[in-house]
Amino acid sequence: MNTFEYVVVSLDSDYANLKRTDEESDEIKLVARALLPPETDEGTRLKYEFLQYSIIA
């Protein structure tokens, strides 16, 4: 299973805009905030692995 790293670019009510940081890409991914850890805020670094998002310390 692949692992991806993202940073939260912005929050828009029930959705978050994520930008991939582990490879060069200008693409923004729209993700429901319900899928993210509750303490997620703008600038939070996230890891996506095994169909779950977790915060990178």
Q: Is the pLDDT of residue 57 over 90?
A: no
Tokens of 29: 């991914």
Domain boundaries, the chain: 4-55
Reported as a single tens digit per residue, the pLDDT across 1-41 is: 799 999 999 999 999 999 999 999 899 999 999 999 999 99
* Gap between the Cα atoms of 38 and 23, Å rounded: 26
Q: Which pLDDT value is given to residue 54? A: 98
Q: Which pLDDT belongs to residue 1?
A: 79
Q: What pLDDT, on a 0 to 100 scale, did the predictor assign at position 6?
A: 98
Count of beta carbons in the 10 Å neighbourhood of residue 37:
12
